[in-house]
Chains A and B, each alone.
Chain A
Amino acid sequence: MTPGVIKVVIIGAYLLLLLLLGLFASRLSRGTSKDFLLASHSIGPFLLLMSLFGTTMTGFALVGSTGEAFAEGVGVYGMLASSSGIVHSLCFFLLGIRLYSWGKKYGYTTQVGFFRDRLDSDKIGIVLFPILVGLVVPYLLVGVISAGKAMEGGTRGDFPGLSESGGLPAWLTELVICSVVLVYVFFGGMRGTAWANTFQTIVFMVLGVVTFSLIANRLAENAIEQGRVQDENGVVRTEPPAGFLDALTIVSGEIPKARRVRDEVTEADQIPTVEAPPQFNTRERLDPWMFLTYMLIPFSVGMFPHLFQHWLTARSAASFKLAVVCHPVFIMIVWVPCVLIGVWATTGLINLPPPFLNMPSENANKILGFMVQSLSSGVLGGFLLAGILAAIMSSLDSQFLCLGTMFTKDIVVHYGGEDRFSDKQVVMISRGFIIAIVVATYLLSLTEIAQTRVFQLGIWCFSGFSSLFPLVFLAIYWRGLTKWGAYAGVLTAAGVWAWLFKLSEFGAIDNWSVNFTLGGREIHTMPVASIFLASLAATVIVSLVTPKPSASTLEKFFPNE
């Protein structure tokens, strides 16, 4: 068998396992809508930890972290990962357990249901629903397109004629991924999703570490073959790496060298395979204000509809404890190796083909697949690609399920009437919507705009969700929040978001920032900071001057105050 066929067989077997898991989960279903949508509040600490982690770590955790480190340097860990470790757990702690508690008590399934009740306003759903759906769809597309790009990069040259690069065409991977996720979500519902997430999270964590070890060893061998490694006496070393730690030391020793070369060599004098292109300098020159304001992005977790639904699956509030504590550590386990792999790619220890050197930002997300393809055998390459797909699918499933749930509960059941549909019909309607959303997502992923712009859109999506964080936080902790304050906050967030998005030429300008002059110096901030602050101010100010919710509503949510 050729390496390409070996990879396809391994990935096919992995996808089959997932299908079986989803079908098995469906056999344990109680047949109710509560079981299909919320796993009957039965998910214990371990499954909750793994499903929350798997859901928040999209394909970006493996593919994107490596790509961003390749394009921007090791600083991306602080910008994206360690901040998430603090903020995600903060959201689980401050929001997740409260919303779980109220959700279980009052029977919520979606965020819109909660806000309608908390704000005494049916129409808040009309404002929130399209915004939430509009923000989830590009996020879904990021996952689907990441899968296509990772497989294309990881099978590069294995299937000549099938695509321009000789890899599996992206449309085919995207079709298969969407179909597999559809089947296990359709049959397994939330229980199947939680199990599949757990299985996939274990797979991508284990295979991530295996990838790391393998790539370290192979690059260390390359460094020795190229005569780059010297012993303490300055003698060129010829013996192979003596273990994993030795390999790490050899390869990472090239990072500061590469950086010094970048600082000293002009662009015109660069040798492409040895010195990184000028874009690699951006991390060192990143405005500290961008770094500071980037910390608002992880607050998006507080308003992800799919996480809300996962929170409601918990067996008890205590089930959250393991997730709150372990989430930052798990982020570290996945991200540190990926970031190192990304910066190792800039050291010249592996020859990068022209697309990576001419357009590193555009091709950054293919770098992990390319390194796996170049440095591993067919068997290991197949397992590693399966790990990447696992990370991607463990987010896609929850997003598909949550959109199906929102259309069913917030629109059809809410406006059709609770009594109009039997429980079985609610399950069938949810399944119908899930099929429609998967098909729509797949078709959207084939469009030119999605293929070229979706990653830029991703960060704008996260900014949108983050800007709604003040709404959910105040809904839980402030009696004074009014429906008019909520409308003002949501509409302000949407308006400022749209305005800034337009100024950024609809995401076309990379690393677009909102600039201010402070003390005679121009500072650059992430757009999310302006949107977040505007939304917070509008929510608070309008709430202060408009009538409070009814006494019964306040008593319901704040009984002891």
Chain B
Amino acid sequence: MKSAVWGLVLLLVVLHHDLWFWNDDRLVFGFLPITLAYHAGISLAAGITWFLAIQFAWPPGLDGETIAEAADPGDPEPQEGGAA
């Protein structure tokens, strides 16, 4: 599924290059130039693709403890320091 999600992202990039509507001045719904409507569709499709990405390709283990928390588990507000 993860590969399918990245495949969709790649597909979006390819579909983004719409040479087929380059000089087309038809209007969709009577008011939206077709090339603009197409790219608005790309934006919506991007939202859907990223929804699938957070569902199926979200990396695990990102919310680990901080270095300071590891040193002192009782301190809820670790002071910021440099790299450990």
Given known contacts A32-B79, A117-B83, A255-B33, A85 and B43 CB-to-CB distance under 8 angstroms: yes
Interface string of A242-257 (1 = CB under 8 A from B): 0001001101110110
Contact check, B9 vs A90: say whether CB atoms are below 8 A apart.
yes
Could you say which of A251, A288, A340 contacts B19, with CB atoms under 8 Å apart? A288
List residues of chain B with CB within 8 A of the CB of A104. Answer: 66
Assembled-state Cα–Cα distance A331/B82 (Å)? 36
Cβ-based interface call for B81 (8 A): yes
Cβ-based interface call for B75 (8 A): no
List residues of chain B with CB within 8 A of the CB of A521. Answer: none
B interface residues, tally (CB under 8 Å)? 47
Contact check, B80 vs A249: say whether CB atoms are below 8 A apart.
no
Contact check, B47 vs A326: say whether CB atoms are below 8 A apart.
yes
Contact check, B62 vs A82: say whether CB atoms are below 8 A apart.
no
List residues of chain A with CB within 8 A of the CB of B63. Answer: 101, 316-318
Contact check, B17 vs A288: say whether CB atoms are below 8 A apart.
yes
Cβ-based interface call for A142 (8 A): no
Interface string of B3-34 (1 = CB under 8 A from A): 00000010011001111001101110011110
Contact check, B33 vs A252: say whether CB atoms are below 8 A apart.
yes
Chain A residue, CB-CB nearest to B45: A328
Assembled-state Cα–Cα distance A331/B31 (Å)? 19
Interface string of A325-362 (1 = CB under 8 A from B): 11111011000100110010000000000000000000
Contact check, A328 vs B43: say whether CB atoms are below 8 A apart.
yes
Cβ-based interface call for B77 (8 A): yes
Cβ-based interface call for A259 (8 A): yes
Most A CB contacts (10 A, CB to CB) among B31, B59, B79, B81 go to B31
Assembled-state Cα–Cα distance A327/B48 (Å)? 11
Given known contacts A74-B36, A81-B43, A326-B47, A317 and B62 CB-to-CB distance under 8 angstroms: yes
Contact check, B35 vs A249: say whether CB atoms are below 8 A apart.
no
Most B CB contacts (10 A, CB to CB) among A78, A83, A93 go to A78
Cβ-based interface call for A278 (8 A): no
Q: How far is the CB of B49 from chain A (nearest CB, A)?
A: 8
Give residues of chain B (31-64) contacting chain A, Cβ–Cβ below 8 Å. Answer: 31-33, 35-36, 38-40, 42-44, 46-47, 50-51, 53-54, 58-59, 62-64
Q: How far is the CB of A75 from chain B (nearest CB, A)?
A: 6
Given known contacts A324-B53, A336-B36, A255 and B83 CB-to-CB distance under 8 angstroms: no
Most A CB contacts (10 A, CB to CB) among B9, B39, B58, B65 go to B39
Contact check, A82 vs B67: say whether CB atoms are below 8 A apart.
no
Of A17-25, A107-115, A526-534, the one with at least 4 CB within 8 A of chain B:
A107-115
Q: How far is the CB of B26 from chain A (nearest CB, A)?
A: 8
Contact check, B83 vs A108: say whether CB atoms are below 8 A apart.
yes
List residues of chain A with CB within 8 A of the CB of B68. Answer: 107
Contact check, B16 vs A86: say whether CB atoms are below 8 A apart.
yes
Contact check, A101 vs B83: say whether CB atoms are below 8 A apart.
no
Contact check, A325 vs B82: say whether CB atoms are below 8 A apart.
no
Chain A residue, CB-CB nearest to B13: A86
Assembled-state Cα–Cα distance A292/B18 (Å)? 10
Contact check, A332 vs B36: say whether CB atoms are below 8 A apart.
no
Q: How far is the CB of B84 from chain A (nearest CB, A)?
A: 6
Q: How far is the CB of B71 from chain A (nearest CB, A)?
A: 12
List residues of chain B with CB within 8 A of the CB of A117. Answer: 82-83
List residues of chain A with CB within 8 A of the CB of B54. Answer: 93, 321, 324-325
List residues of chain A with CB within 8 A of the CB of B83. Answer: 106-108, 113, 116-117
Given known contacts A101-B63, A105-B64, A316-B63, A423 and B79 CB-to-CB distance under 8 angstroms: yes
Contact check, A105 vs B67: say whether CB atoms are below 8 A apart.
yes
List residues of chain B with CB within 8 A of the CB of A93. Answer: 50, 53-54
Given known contacts A78-B18, A113-B82, A252-B30, A101 and B42 CB-to-CB distance under 8 angstroms: no
List residues of chain A with CB within 8 A of the CB of B31. Answer: 245, 248-249, 251-253, 340
Assembled-state Cα–Cα distance A549/B2 (Å)? 30
Assembled-state Cα–Cα distance A249/B32 (Å)? 8
Cβ-based interface call for A98 (8 A): yes
Most A CB contacts (10 A, CB to CB) among B22, B27, B46 go to B46
Contact check, A40 vs B36: say whether CB atoms are below 8 A apart.
no
Contact check, B16 vs A82: say whether CB atoms are below 8 A apart.
yes
Q: Can you sample 8 A-B contacts with CB below 8 Å?
A: A40-B77, A78-B16, A86-B16, A97-B59, A255-B33, A295-B16, A317-B62, A332-B40
Q: Which 10 A-B pairs have the closest CB atoms?
A: A317-B62, A328-B46, A117-B83, A252-B31, A248-B31, A332-B43, A256-B25, A82-B39, A249-B30, A82-B42
